[in-house]
Structures are given as C-alpha cells and as structure tokens.
Structure 1
Amino acid sequence: MFQLWQLKIFLAAAETLSFTRAAKQVHLSQPSVTEQVRALEQSVGQPLFIRKNNRLMLTAAGERLAGRARELLAMADDTFRVVRDNPDEKGGTIRVAAPQTLCTCLLIPVLTRFVELHPRTRVEIRERNSSETAQAVLGGTADLGLVHGWPANDANLQADLVARDMPVVVMPPGHPLSRAADVKPDALAAFPLIVTMEGCRYREYLDALLQEAPVRPCIRGVADSVQALVQMVSAGLGVSILPRMAVDTAETALRVELRALSTIGEGLPICLLTVGREPTRHVAAFIEMIRLAVARSDEPMSTVDVKNRAGRVAVTK
C-alpha cells in the first residue's frame, strides 16, 4: 500500500517530467525520488513512467494515477483542514501561488492589509510561473493561485476572472512618447522594442497588441524577466509593453515612465485559480480582499516596505 507522501513525490515527477526537478520541488535528493517512484510502481504493479533518452513520459497507468492522486491529496488536505480549523478561532494558514510580478504588485499590498485584520492567520506566498501556479493548486500545495491570462483547460481547475490588466508602454524617463497621455500602437514603430522571452505570457500579450499596428517595431533586446526588461528600458535600449500590474512601481518609478497604450482590446485577464471546493473562512476572506483590490485595477496599487510591514507573511520560492 502506498503512502500520501509517495503520491506527492509521484505528482511532482509527473508534473515536471523530471526526477531532478521533482527532487528540488519536494526537497529530496534525486536518488530518493527515483527510489520512491520505483516503490510506488511495485505497489501498483505497473510502470508509471517510460524512461527514454533521459526523458520521462507518463504511461497510461501513470496518467490514471496522477488524476486520482490529485483527488486523494486534495481530500486529505481538506480532512486535515477541517480537523485543524477551530470554528472559534480566526486563524489558520493560507497558501497562495502566483508569478513574481503579481506577488509584488498585488498580493503583498493585499497581505499587509489582511494580516492587520486577521493577525492569527499565517500566509505563505509561493512564487511560481503561471503553469507551476496552476499545478500547485491542482496538486493541493496551494489553496489558490493568481495568474495573468487564462490557464490551460483542466476539468479539475476553476478559473475565475477577477480583473483585466490594461497595457502600458514602458519607456526611459524623458522619452519622446512620454509627452502623450496615451500611446497608439503605430507610434511604437519608430522605436526599438524590448521584449520578454518567447513562451512568456507577457510576450504573447505584446505580440497580440502589436497586431493592431500597421508596422511592427524592430526588436532590439530580449529579457528573461520583467526586472531585466525594466533595466534594459531604463538604460535607453528601447521601449516595451507590459500589463500595468506586471510593473513593480516601487522599484521602477525612478527608472522608467509608464503611459497607457491606446488599444481596442479588453486587457489581459487576471484569473483566480481554485479547485472548486468550499474554502475555509480565512481563505474566503483573503479571496474577497483580492477581489476588492483588483475591482478598480485602473488605479495604481499602493507600494509597501516588505521588510518592515509584511507581518506574518512567509515568502517561499
């Protein structure tokens, strides 16, 4: 008979398709992960992975077990939560996963207000990319997630639109475009462009917005993070386009200027990810504060001194 912790190890390998990456995710050595997967395969009596050229693929049995494992771990998590939660106490733990940009610009300001109202509640913020955020929610290691854009379709994942993040043009201070209240996409053709890597949600968004322009700007630089992109723009290498909440105003206000991009689009969705179970009281309260914070997403988010005001917030990467 297998154990729940073995299922967690198996799911980490199933989601990453790598024993090495799974080991980092579950904080074990790679040989330990391999050993536990083999023990699980012996318990179920079938191979769960196909190993070929140092790559992993789930077998049909592995696919079936992955789906059931998520359900079992979610049920176990709910069971422990029901036992742990005291109806007379306003406490507990909330685990939230989100990309770094949404952690900085949205979640941390929400948390500073939330912990003041719920001082007995512990909040854990886990920085993950969009795909990893969805998998954390599905796997039960996060109570909820926030992502830019719609996640991949999954019958077990519930995605609720909480806001639309409008695009801004990011430019060096004193740039010619800074004299305009907003910038039309065709005005960007005269300036070199800085973009994020292909496959990044923000790169896909930028490409979609530039379809409105008759001439596409010339790409001068590619950055692997928003922070690197802002540094390149600040150095005068070009301009860029990002959703407004992807820009950490606390760090970028002195280095770049932002102007609204005039577009016919509705903005990039910000989605709240859950698995559809009834949330505990403190999780429901936190979700409500997120909804209130993004209800007027056309206004700048307040900035915060994370070091001195984070309260009982644990940030894990």
Structure 2
Amino acid sequence: MFQLRQLKIFVAAMETLSFTKAAKQVHLSQPSVTEQIRALEESVGQALFIRQNNRLQPTPAAERLAIRARELLARADDAFREVRDNVDDSGGTIRVAAPQTLCTSVLVPQLLRFAGMHPGTQVAVQEKNSMATAQAVLDGTADLGLVHGWPASDAKLRAQAIARDMPVVVMPPGHPLSEAVDIKADALAAFPLVVTMDGCRYREYLEAVLQEAPVQPRIRGVADSVPALIQMVSAGLGVSILPRMAMDPAATTACVRWRPLSTAGAGLPICLLTLHRTPTRQVAAFIEMIRLAATGSDQPMAAIDMKHGAGGVAIADQEADGIGDIAAGADPAHR
C-alpha cells in the first residue's frame, strides 16, 4: 500500500518530469526519490515513468494515478487544516492567488483590516495570471483565487461571480474625451487604440465591448501587461478600455485619465475560485471580506447561467434583472 509521502514525491515527479528536480522540490536526495517511485510502482503493479532523452515520460497509468494522487493529497491537507483550525481558530495561513491588477485593487487594501480582525492568521498573496491562478487553486497551492472573467470549465473548480467590474476608457491628460461624463463606444472609432496581447482577458473584453457598438478597432500599440499599457497611453500612443478595478489609482492618477464607458453589457465579472469543499473559518471570513470589498454590498450576487455567443465570447444572463455579463469563454493568461 502506498503512503502519502510517496504520492507527494510522485506528484513532484509528474510536475517536473525529472527525478533530480523532484528531489529538490520535496527536499530529498535523488536516489531516495528514485527508490520511492520504484516502491510505488511495485505497489500499483505498473511502470509509471519511462526515461526518454534524459526526461521522464509518464505512462498512461501515471496519468490516471496523478489525478487520484492530487485528490488524496488535497483531502489530507483539508483534514490537517480542519484539526488545526479546531484547536486554534486564529492561526494558520491563507494562500490567495490573483493577477497583479486585482492584487492591487481588491486584495492588498483589505490585508490590514483582516490582520486587525484575525491577528493570528497570515495571508500569503501570490501574484499570478488568470490561468495560473486557477491552476494554483486546483493544485492546492492556493486556498482561493480571484480573477477577471470566467475560468475554463473544470469539474473540480468552483467559480462564483462576486462582483461586476465596469469598463472605463483610459486616455492621456488633455485628451478630447478627458472631460466627458460618459463615453459611448462609437466615440472611440476616431482614435487609435492601445491593447494588451492576443489571448489576454482584457484584450478579449475590449474587443467584445467594441463589437457591441459596433466599432472597428484601429490598433496602434500592443502591450504585454497593464502597467506597460498605461505607460503607452500616457505617452499619447492611443486610448484603451480596461475594467475599472484594473486601474491602480496610485500609479495612474498622474499619468493618465479615465472616464466611464457607456455599454449595454453589465461589466466583466470578478470571479472567486475555490475547490468544492467547505472552507476553514479563516478562509470563509477572508472570502466574505473580499466579497464585500469588491461589491460594496452586503448582498450576494444572483446565480449566473453561462451560454456562448458569437466569436467565442460567453454571455452570462442574470435573470433577476435581465443584465448580461460579458466574459471570455476560455481562460487565457493576462497580467
């Protein structure tokens, strides 16, 4: 019968495809890792890896075992945390993953408040793109994640829309639209655009908003991150569209201006990602604080039903008020 220690070593080998790298990850010697993998293979009665050009090639049996191994390790982690939390409700660490934009606008401003209410609990913030955030939750290296838009569908992942982030037009100071109270998308047809890279959630959001107008975008510059986009807009290269919470007031007030964009849609959902399990009391308290910070309301959002529209864009209908949330159907990386 295999042991949890062997499963941890096996998962490390699956992630690194190297016994040497796996040994570093689990803090063992390479011969010890090899011995534990051999013992695991004897337990399951099948080879798990094939050496190929100095690289490990997982067998079909390894691929199947990896799914169960991650589940068992996650359950073991849950059990340990539950016992620990019942002993000391104020201790432990909450691991939160999110893109840089949501770390800055939603998570970080709440850390001091949470620390005051739960002084024995640490919060470890992991800055990751959307895809990596979802993967961190699935892998169990993050207790929860926060992303703009809907993640790729995964039966193990629970995605809850906790708020809707409205679009704004970002422009340099002195721009003709800088004094406008409310800007319609068709007004942007007269100006060149700065956008994020293909595959970025914010790029897809911009294109979906302009498609509503409809406006044919005139792209003058492409940035690989939001800070780079802000700098390009500040330099006068063009204007852009971002969700409001992607804007860092401290970093952008002096160099760009932003104004609300009038759109028929109801904004880009901010989604909370967790696994389908009961959170610890500390994690539940932190989730509630983040939800209130994101919504400014003590009422949860209504349930959202997903469907796919044209161009690979998913439209979520909120039946309570007939509002549609625009989000990408897949979960590309963004910064």
Return the TM-score normalized by structure 1: 0.81
Q: Structure 1 residue 34: deviation in Å?
A: 9.2
Q: Structure 1 residue 275: deviation in Å?
A: 1.0
**What secondary structure sits across from 2:216 in the alignment?**
coil
User: Which of the pair has more CA radius of gyration?
Assistant: 2
Distance 2:20 2:202 in 1: 28
Specify whether residues 218 and 243 from structure 1 end up closer, same or farther in structure 2 by C-alpha distance, changes over 3 A only. Answer: same
Q: Is the 8 A contact 1:73 1:139 kept in 2?
A: no
**What secondary structure sits across from 1:174 in the alignment?**
coil
Distance 1:76 1:37 in 2: 20
RMSD value, Cα: 3.4
**What secondary structure sits across from 1:85 in the alignment?**
helix
Distance 1:234 1:29 in 2: 52
Matched ranges for 1:161-176 at <5 A: 161-176=161-176
Q: Structure 1 residue 131: deviation in Å?
A: 1.5
1:250 and 2:244 equivalent? no
What are the superposed Cα offsets for residues 246-292 of structure 1, whole Å, 9 maximum, x if unpaired?
Answer: 11111111111111111111211111111121111111111110111
Tell me the equivalent position of 1:160.
Answer: 160
What are the superposed Cα offsets for residues 197-225 of structure 1, whole Å, 9 maximum, x if unpaired?
Answer: 11111111111111123331211111111
Gaps of 5+ in 1: 298-317
**What secondary structure sits across from 2:215 in the alignment?**
coil
Tell me the equivalent position of 1:97.
Answer: 97
Tell me the equivalent position of 1:132.
Answer: 132
Specify whether residues 27 and 265 from structure 1 end up closer, same or farther in structure 2 by C-alpha distance, changes over 3 A only. Answer: farther
Specify whether residues 88 and 126 from structure 1 end up closer, same or farther in structure 2 by C-alpha distance, changes over 3 A only. Answer: closer
What are the superposed Cα offsets for residues 44-97 of structure 1, whole Å, 9 maximum, x if unpaired?
Answer: 454556888999886532332232122111111112112322445422211111
Q: Is the 8 A contact 2:89 2:282 kept in 1?
A: no
Q: Is the 8 A contact 1:102 1:146 kept in 2?
A: yes
**What secondary structure sits across from 1:176 in the alignment?**
coil
Distance 1:194 1:34 in 2: 51
Q: Structure 1 residue 21: deviation in Å?
A: 9.8
Q: Is the 8 A contact 1:190 1:217 kept in 2?
A: no
Tell me the equivalent position of 2:118.
Answer: 118
Distance 1:248 1:237 in 2: 20
1:204 and 2:204 equivalent? yes
Q: Structure 1 residue 17: deviation in Å?
A: 7.9
Distance 1:20 1:200 in 2: 34
Distance 1:246 1:271 in 2: 14
**What secondary structure sits across from 1:272 in the alignment?**
strand
| Amino acid aligned to 1:135 | Q
Q: Is the 8 A contact 1:11 1:139 kept in 2?
A: no
Which stretch shows the higher mean deviation, 57-66 or 75-84? 57-66
1:283 and 2:283 equivalent? yes
Tell me the equivalent position of 1:266.
Answer: 266
Specify whether residues 262 and 278 from structure 1 end up closer, same or farther in structure 2 by C-alpha distance, changes over 3 A only. Answer: same
Tell me the equivalent position of 1:181.
Answer: 181
Specify whether residues 175 and 49 from structure 1 end up closer, same or farther in structure 2 by C-alpha distance, changes over 3 A only. Answer: farther
Distance 1:51 1:119 in 2: 49
Q: Is the 8 A contact 2:185 2:215 kept in 1?
A: no
Which stretch shows the higher mean deviation, 188-197 or 24-33? 24-33
**What secondary structure sits across from 1:175 in the alignment?**
coil
Distance 2:23 2:72 in 1: 21
Specify whether residues 106 and 40 from structure 1 end up closer, same or farther in structure 2 by C-alpha distance, changes over 3 A only. Answer: farther
Q: Is the 8 A contact 2:168 2:244 kept in 1?
A: yes
Tell me the equivalent position of 1:241.
Answer: 241
Tell me the equivalent position of 1:194.
Answer: 194
Distance 1:163 1:270 in 2: 5
**What secondary structure sits across from 1:150 in the alignment?**
coil
Return the TM-score normalized by structure 2: 0.77
Specify whether residues 11 and 209 from structure 1 end up closer, same or farther in structure 2 by C-alpha distance, changes over 3 A only. Answer: farther
Q: Is the 8 A contact 2:89 2:281 kept in 1?
A: no
Q: Is the 8 A contact 1:158 1:276 kept in 2?
A: yes
Q: Structure 1 residue 138: deviation in Å?
A: 1.4
Q: Is the 8 A contact 2:178 2:257 kept in 1?
A: yes
Residues matched between the structures, number? 297
What fraction of aligned residue pairs are identical, expressed as a percent? 76
Q: Structure 1 residue 14: deviation in Å?
A: 5.2
Distance 1:116 1:235 in 2: 41
